[in-house]
């Protein structure tokens, strides 16, 4: 009888690679199929290996099949294993990206749902998917692949008034920024503006959104803390720009913020659900996903899109208020968002493309890539590079964590730098000092194939949260 027993070396010959798959196969085949010859046992195991889906409902061989496919159903969710095979992904500006960031993206590509991926040159380590990571998945959405600040976006109003307007009206601009922008987690004052986004059916149809509607109402038109800002500056447009405006210098209003407490609560709620339903190995739990055919997956998709529209509404209100307060009207407006997931067709298959801190850059799509509170950012249009999944960086990318930036920079150093650069900062702090970020010029040099430059934005008067 011992001669008919299956051993690990036998399984290696028929391509059983993981130790767990070998262990399951040895235990099950030697226990439940004692009567079979060794040849018959190996033929059966080879059949399971070749077509594991055919054995998912089998009384005894299902556990081997589940292991080979990479998921095991339990009463407390489905256990998934990362695939051993390495799926390649594009890396743009590799010299700017740490090995930890690349390893994190490699783990994301090992998910059984992952199809394609890319890292942007501003990428750095985040929770789940790296900041600056782009991941295309098959019929599944990863809440932490989108991020906490769902729909975080850039928006730029361009005004056809002389650049000297800012210096001549600096007091009025600072007053308008103080009076009409609100930052941080607190409740803002009641205002006369409402927005149709608050009348959306999703608030009544999804429990968590119903609970969050009051917070959404109170934070409408406000901005987050951290690196979020509203600032006036100078826009320099190239000739033959996409706006069909003359080459020259304009006044610009640039904002960066997201979906506030609404988006953060949605992300937290559905990440917990994803983790309960989708069990992943240590170090990969934040990559837990929701099947878009499931109730939770469909709910998250609706909630995510609502949060994105809410973020846009906040930006629209900010631009409207400040334009009205200063008596100027924009001649052009552009915006783009990140921290979002889109349904896009890649190689004739509809996939879910997560851009966590990456700018959408399909052919001709406009976007804004900021630097920091001092250095100029870029107005760009997409080249539609499919190797980058139609994406580019969303900024310069952090070089130092907020804690390290605070520990290594003093307020006096920041004030000196701002004075030298003739930048007025309202609020803000050393956590967001320019030294905390990578050099945007170097980042831009790594993505010439991804974007075309339409112009620049030079910050002048910057409003941020107090830190």
| pLDDT tens track for 196-222 | 999 999 999 999 999 999 999 999 999
**Residue 63's pLDDT is what?**
83
Q: Is the pLDDT of residue 134 over 90?
A: yes
Alpha carbon distances (Å) from 249 to 68, 174, 285, 433: 61, 21, 48, 26
Q: Is the pLDDT of residue 425 over 60?
A: yes
Residue 295 contacts residue 205 (beta carbons within 8 Å) = no
Q: Can you say how many angstroms the Cα of residue 12 is from the centroid of all Cα atoms in its chain?
A: 40
Assigned domain for 80 exists: no
Per-residue pLDDT tens over the stretch 164-186:
999 999 999 999 999 999 998 76
Q: Tell me the average pLDDT across 246-258.
A: 95
Lowest mean pLDDT among 278-292, 313-327, 347-361, 373-387: 278-292
* Confidence band, pLDDT 50/70/90 cuts, at residue 72: low
Q: Can you say how many angstroms the Cα of residue 254 is from the centroid of all Cα atoms in its chain?
A: 20
Q: Dig out the tokens for 151 from the structure.
A: 């729909």
Same domain, 48 and 155: no
**Residue 408's pLDDT is what?**
84
Same domain, 312 and 177: yes
Q: Which of 69, 89, 121 is where one domain is finished?
A: 69
Same domain, 164 and 62: no
**Residue 13's pLDDT is what?**
86
Q: Is the pLDDT of residue 73 over 70?
A: no
Assigned domain for 122 exists: no
DSSP symbol at 223: B
Cα torsion for 55, 60, 61, 64, to the nearest 10°?
120
Q: Is the pLDDT of residue 228 over 80?
A: yes
Q: Tell me the average pLDDT across 131-150.
A: 96
Assigned domain for 94 exists: no
Residue 226 contacts residue 357 (beta carbons within 8 Å) = no
Q: Which residues contact 37 (CB under 8 A, 6 or more apart)?
A: 4
Assigned domain for 84 exists: no
Q: Is the pLDDT of residue 280 over 60?
A: yes
Q: Is the pLDDT of residue 410 over 60?
A: yes
Question: CA–CA separation, 467 vs 464, rounded Å?
Answer: 9
Assigned domain for 96 exists: no
Question: CA–CA separation, 198 vs 249, rounded Å?
Answer: 37
Tell me which of 244 and 190 has the higher pLDDT: 244
Assigned domain for 456 exists: yes
Question: CA–CA separation, 19 vs 55, rounded Å?
Answer: 20
Q: Which residues contact 350 (CB under 8 A, 6 or more apart)?
A: 343, 344
**Residue 185's pLDDT is what?**
72
Same domain, 165 and 283: yes
**Residue 1's pLDDT is what?**
47
Alpha carbon distances (Å) from 128 to 124, 144, 192: 12, 6, 39
**Residue 283's pLDDT is what?**
85
Question: CA–CA separation, 393 vs 206, rounded Å?
Answer: 33
Q: Which of 46, 69, 92 is where one domain is finished?
A: 69
Cα torsion for 449, 395, 372, 336, to the nearest 10°?
110
Assigned domain for 82 exists: no
Tell me which of 355 and 58 has the higher pLDDT: 355
Q: Tell me the average pLDDT across 25-31.
A: 88
Q: Dig out the tokens for 126 from the structure.
A: 């985040």
Q: Which residues contact 219 (CB under 8 A, 6 or more apart)?
A: 187, 188, 260, 261, 262, 314
Q: Is the pLDDT of residue 71 over 80?
A: no
Tally Cβ neighbours within 10 Å of residue 432.
27
Same domain, 403 and 282: yes
CATH (domain of 212): 3.90.1860.10
Q: Dig out the tokens for 265 from the structure.
A: 């609560």
Mean pLDDT of the chain: 91
Domain count, the chain: 2
Question: CA–CA separation, 263 vs 146, rounded Å?
Answer: 10
Q: Is the pLDDT of residue 64 over 90?
A: no
Q: Is the pLDDT of residue 15 over 90?
A: no
From the list 110, 61, 106, 84, the residue with the least C-alpha distance to 15 is 84
Question: CA–CA separation, 337 vs 359, rounded Å?
Answer: 7
**Residue 235's pLDDT is what?**
96
Alpha carbon distances (Å) from 240 to 244, 334, 381, 449: 6, 17, 12, 19
Q: How many CA atoms lie within 13 A of 126 on its CB side?
A: 26
Per-residue pLDDT tens over the stretch 294-344:
999 999 999 999 999 999 999 999 999 999 999 999 999 999 999 999 999
Q: Which of 37, 69, 101 is where one domain is finished?
A: 69
Residue 346 contacts residue 136 (beta carbons within 8 Å) = yes
Share of the chain above pLDDT 70, in %: 97
> What sections of 77-117 are H helices per DSSP?
99-109
**Residue 186's pLDDT is what?**
61
Q: Is the pLDDT of residue 189 over 80?
A: no
Q: Is the pLDDT of residue 191 over 60?
A: no
Same domain, 42 and 154: no
Alpha carbon distances (Å) from 188 to 175, 217, 378, 467: 17, 10, 31, 18
Domain of 16, in residue numbers: 2-69
Share of the chain above pLDDT 90, in %: 68
**Residue 193's pLDDT is what?**
59
Per-residue pLDDT tens over the stretch 378-406:
999 999 999 999 999 999 988 888 888 88
Assigned domain for 309 exists: yes
**Residue 112's pLDDT is what?**
93
């Amino acid at each position: 009888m011992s001669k008919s027993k299956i051993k690990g070396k036998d399984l290696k010959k028929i391509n059983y690679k993981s130790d767990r798959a070998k262990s399951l196969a040895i235990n099950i085949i030697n226990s439940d199929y004692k009567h079979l010859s060794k040849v018959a046992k190996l033929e059966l195991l080879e059949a399971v290996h070749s077509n594991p889906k055919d054995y998912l409902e089998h009384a005894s061989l299902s556990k081997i099949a589940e292991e080979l496919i990479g998921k095991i159903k339990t009463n407390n969710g489905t256990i998934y294993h990362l695939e051993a095979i390495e799926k390649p992904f594009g890396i743009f500006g590799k010299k700017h990206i740490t090995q930890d960031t690349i390893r994190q993206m490699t783990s994301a590509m090992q998910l059984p749902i992952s199809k394609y991926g890319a890292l942007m040159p501003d990428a750095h380590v985040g929770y789940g998917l790296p900041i600056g990571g782009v991941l295309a998945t098959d019929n599944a959405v990863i809440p932490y692949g989108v991020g906490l600040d769902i729909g975080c976006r850039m928006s730029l109003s361009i005004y056809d008034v002389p650049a000297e307007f800012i210096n001549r009206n600096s007091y009025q601009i600072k007053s308008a920024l103080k009076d009409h922008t609100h930052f941080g987690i607190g409740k803002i004052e009641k205002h006369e503006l409402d927005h149709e986004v608050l009348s959306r059916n999703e608030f009544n149809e999804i429990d968590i959104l119903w609970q969050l509607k009051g917070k959404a109402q109170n934070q409408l038109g406000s901005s987050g803390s951290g690196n979020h800002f509203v600032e006036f500056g100078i826009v320099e447009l190239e000739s033959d720009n996409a706006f069909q405006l003359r080459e020259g210098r304009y006044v610009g209003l640039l904002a960066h913020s997201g979906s506030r407490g609404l988006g953060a609560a949605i992300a937290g709620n559905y990440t917990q659900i994803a983790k309960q339903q989708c069990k992943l190995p240590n170090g990969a739990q934040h990559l837990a996903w929701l099947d878009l055919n499931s109730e939770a997956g469909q709910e998250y998709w609706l909630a995510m899109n609502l949060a994105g529209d809410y973020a846009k509404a906040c930006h629209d209100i900010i631009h409207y208020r400040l334009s009205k307060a200063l008596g100027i009207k924009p001649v052009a407006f552009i915006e783009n968002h990140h921290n979002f997931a889109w349904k896009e067709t890649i190689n004739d298959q509809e996939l879910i493309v997560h851009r966590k801190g990456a700018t959408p850059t399909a052919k001709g799509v406009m976007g804004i890539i900021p630097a920091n509170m001092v250095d100029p950012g870029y107005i760009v249009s997409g080249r539609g590079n499919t190797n980058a999944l139609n994406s580019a960086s969303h900024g310069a990318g952090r070089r130092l964590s907020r804690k390290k930036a605070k520990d290594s920079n003093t307020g006096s150093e920041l004030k000196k730098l701002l004075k030298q650069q003739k930048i007025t900062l309202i609020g803000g702090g050393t956590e967001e000092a320019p030294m905390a970020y990578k050099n945007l010029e170097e980042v831009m040099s790594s993505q010439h194939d991804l974007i075309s430059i339409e112009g620049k934005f030079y910050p002048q008067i910057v409003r941020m949260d107090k830190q």
